[in-house]
Structure 1
Amino acid sequence: MDTVEWIRRTAHPLATVDPADPLDDLRPLAGMVGDASVVGYGAGTRGAHEVFALQDRIARLLVGEAGFRVVAFDLDWTLGGRLDAAVRGEGDLAGILAGAEAFADTEEVLALLRWVRGFNRAHPDDPVRIAGVSPHAVGPEAYDTVVTHVPEAAEAYDGLRPDGDVAAHARRLRAAADRRSRVERARAAHDLVAARGAGPLVLRSARVIVQFHELHDHDGRPEDPMNMAYYEKAFAENVEWWHRHTGRRVLFWSSSSHTCNGLRRGFPPFPSHVSRNAGSHLRERMGDGYLSLGITFHEGELATYGEPATGRVPEGGPELAEATLDAAGDGYLLDLRSGPPPAGRWLDREARFRVIGRPTDDGSHSMAGGSPREWFDVLAHWRRVTPARRIRRG
């Protein structure tokens, strides 16, 4: 049996990606997830409507039928806090997303958050939490949370708290001659909070402030210009914290370059970059408690954020794993954890998976460094994609 035939016999067909449709065709995924405490589900693009819609649909299944109660986005910690408050109460979700990175400022993400709010209103005693797990931009709310409960921390934070645009604040930190001393002050504040026995959310806020300063304390080294190795560790640390803090199952919503389990070589626009993924840290920490779910696509058009045009991604060549996946069908779920030879050889051979960091990137951008079965436990494949939809305002 060749690989394509094995996939056809093993896969569960997907009838739709529309979150409003019945979930019957998606339901086998609950069995594949099993007892995993954290599911990292990422895709090879941030610009496709069908990919986002499928991530939404998966969240609705796992929240509604498998007890998942945290959706952790790779957005900044404080923005995640604002979204969390809004889905558990009132607030302008679209307005909050205006402050998010462009890939999250979409109708598809907004639809998921509105569904979560509806779920929470129907289940006020068992709400879904929204989290941001990235330390790249930490707003003043985190500092306020700490100082409100531990006033003595204010002195350590003097000059560290952002005043105005957080991205500009991060740029100033990277250029500062005394950034190492700022890291030490953030750590001292964290140690003070820990010594005072502050609550877990206060202590985690202090820890994320430390992460922000440690992340930006680097010199743009050629081998890791964005300090991605630190990003990956921080993502994993914060995702796991949410699982421990709530005692509930967590969905980690990101790109497959972050959620897959293993070593990644190549990350647009830095093809020579090598790092361990957040997924590999979570697998190391949690073992089978972490499940890696990859969402793949073959071709189509992607949204081009900040521009009126869309980016066309051609069909993948034979060097991409997506070419093999697409030959087996248009849309399906596939559990990679078992497969007879010769499928086993394909499953365990190093592969290249498409990863398009920005929709304008060339369609050949991909990541390598692992085999399909090393990186992913389960795949969800959808053949053709169309552009994600920016939220319309005004």
Structure 2
Amino acid sequence: MRQHRPALAALLLSLGAVAAAAPPSSAQSPVPALERDAHPLRTTEPQGDLDDLRPVGRMVKDARVVGNPALLPRFAGLYRGLRPTTTVDAHMKGYLKRPPAERKAIAGRTGRALELLQQQRPGAGAERKAHAWAVQHATAIDQTARGYAFAFDDPRQVAEGMRYRDAVMADNVAWWQKHTGDKTVLSAHDAHVALETSDPTHYPKVQGSFLRDKLGKSYVSIGTTFDRGSFHATGADGQVRVYTVGPARPGSNEYTLDRVRHRDYVLDLRSAPPAARAWLAGARATRSIGTDYPGPGVEYRIALARSHDIVVHLHQVGAARLLTGPSSVGKRAVGILPRRTGRGITSRLVLR
């Protein structure tokens, strides 16, 4: 995908002919007249209040292109210190060690930068498209800063942070679909794409629930279950390794699903036969293996019909294996948001 830069911050206003005016005589100073129309700026600091710029909005009126090179130093100030100077992993681990007040202040700066871009009025065509991408990039930066502004040593703030994370993930998916017009496939953990949360204490509302609110039936959630097999997960020592589990235990959703005569299959829960609907509506033990294994949070009571529209059931799964392909070097990070694990808050980097 081609890179889009915040075009409006770098646009130059082409000046037309300027009417010549006779210079004022030495006896007639322009200062009093200038002072009558001048709008004072109380601050020029990056962290300053934006109210001073409201007269500028009235001045430019309906202009389509407004040259404002002054935005460049303003953005440089608002984003100062946010660009990683080490590896992303080291940067984010260090970032979490900063005091909550400092992280909140940074989120305030990224929010002001976003507001500056949103206040611009682009023209049509390519300029409008470039502006939309610039705003979305600034939105991702602000989302990351706000996602890390929660106090993760407070359980209530952790829950609020996880809710915020799933909300903005849904926002970004909805934005992508709207601006591309394409049918979009969202790939994420079942617990995120589900229509309701399976762990309300730690995840009050999940991405799939937000998407259903935004898109209605235009959002379809597909869950995956399996009877046995292997997968990658992070152990208590922080190392990722392959784990293997045996057949699902009696009474679980997977146990019953695996008794269907097909080895692997897909089932539309919305149109399931009446004899199956009552069973699908009941909550029972279901595997939900995420980052950490083994440990708490790998099994929840889930009602399949309330959580997904469609289920793919596999008799046996195998651990993913790396494919030989292009290096991630040179790819752009499009989002770094916190995630909750059994050992606290860690980071997830998404590359494009």
Structures share fold, TM-score greater than 0.5: yes
Say if 2:158 is the partner of 1:158: no
Aligned counterpart in structure 2 of residue 246 of structure 1, from 180, 185, 197? 180
In the TM superposition, 1:119-130 aligns within 5 A as none
User: Structure 2 regions of 5+ residues with no counterpart?
Assistant: 12-70, 123-130, 328-352
Corresponding residue number in structure 2 for 1:349: 282
The Cα of 1:148 is off from its aligned counterpart by 5.9
Matches of 2:279 and 2:164, distance apart in 1: 31
Corresponding residue number in structure 2 for 1:371: 303
Partners of 1:224 and 1:273 within 8 A in 2: no
Matches of 1:179 and 1:214, distance apart in 2: 8
Supply the AA of the counterpart residue of 1:179: R
Inter-CA distance 308–255: structure 2 relative to 1 (3 Å threshold):
closer
Say if 2:265 is the partner of 1:332: yes
The Cα of 1:236 is off from its aligned counterpart by 0.2
Aligned counterpart in structure 2 of residue 175 of structure 1, from 97, 114, 120? 97
Supply the AA of the counterpart residue of 1:365: V
For the residue of structure 1 that corresponds to 2:221, the secondary structure is strand
In the TM superposition, 1:126-275 aligns within 5 A as 151=72, 152-177=74-99, 178-197=102-121, 199-220=131-152, 221-223=154-156, 225=158, 227-265=161-199, 273-275=202-204
The Cα of 1:142 is off from its aligned counterpart by 9.3
Inter-CA distance 185–222: structure 2 relative to 1 (3 Å threshold):
same
User: Structure 1 regions of 5+ residues with no counterpart?
Assistant: 1-83, 86-140, 267-271
For the residue of structure 2 that corresponds to 1:264, the secondary structure is coil
Which structure exhibits the higher relative contact order, with contacts defined as CA atoms closer than 8 Å and separated by 6 or more residues? 1
Inter-CA distance 212–160: structure 2 relative to 1 (3 Å threshold):
same
Matches of 2:193 and 2:308, distance apart in 1: 9
Partners of 2:283 and 2:303 within 8 A in 1: yes
Aligned residues between the structures: 250
The Cα of 1:176 is off from its aligned counterpart by 2.5
In the TM superposition, 1:8-19 aligns within 5 A as none
Higher strand share: 1
Inter-CA distance 308–216: structure 2 relative to 1 (3 Å threshold):
closer
The Cα of 1:340 is off from its aligned counterpart by 4.0
The Cα of 1:367 is off from its aligned counterpart by 3.1
In the TM superposition, 1:33-182 aligns within 5 A as 84=1, 151=72, 152-177=74-99, 178-182=102-106
Say if 2:309 is the partner of 1:387: no
Matches of 1:230 and 1:155, distance apart in 2: 26
**Greater Rg by CA:** 2
Partners of 1:146 and 1:205 within 8 A in 2: no
Normalising by structure 2, we get a TM-score of 0.63
Matches of 1:217 and 1:242, distance apart in 2: 25
Root mean square deviation, CA, Å: 3.0
Partners of 2:150 and 2:157 within 8 A in 1: no
> 1:6-60 CA deviation, whole Å, 9 max, x = no partner?
xxxxxxxxxxxxxxxxxxxxxxxxxxxxxxxxxxxxxxxxxxxxxxxxxxxxxxx
The Cα of 1:192 is off from its aligned counterpart by 0.3
Say if 2:225 is the partner of 1:293: no
The Cα of 1:311 is off from its aligned counterpart by 0.7
The Cα of 1:362 is off from its aligned counterpart by 5.4
Matches of 2:240 and 2:150, distance apart in 1: 35
Supply the AA of the counterpart residue of 1:263: T
Matches of 1:146 and 1:336, distance apart in 2: 48
Supply the AA of the counterpart residue of 1:173: Y
Moved more, 299-308 or 173-182: 299-308
Corresponding residue number in structure 1 for 2:33: none
Partners of 1:303 and 1:389 within 8 A in 2: no
Partners of 1:170 and 1:216 within 8 A in 2: no
Corresponding residue number in structure 2 for 1:134: none
> 1:132-184 CA deviation, whole Å, 9 max, x = no partner?
xxxxxxxxx99988966752422211122322223333333333232221111
Matches of 1:337 and 1:289, distance apart in 2: 14
For the residue of structure 1 that corresponds to 2:155, the secondary structure is coil
Corresponding residue number in structure 1 for 2:206: 277
Partners of 2:231 and 2:243 within 8 A in 1: yes
Normalising by structure 1, we get a TM-score of 0.57
The Cα of 1:203 is off from its aligned counterpart by 0.1
Moved more, 321-330 or 148-157: 148-157
Partners of 1:348 and 1:373 within 8 A in 2: yes
For the residue of structure 2 that corresponds to 1:249, the secondary structure is coil
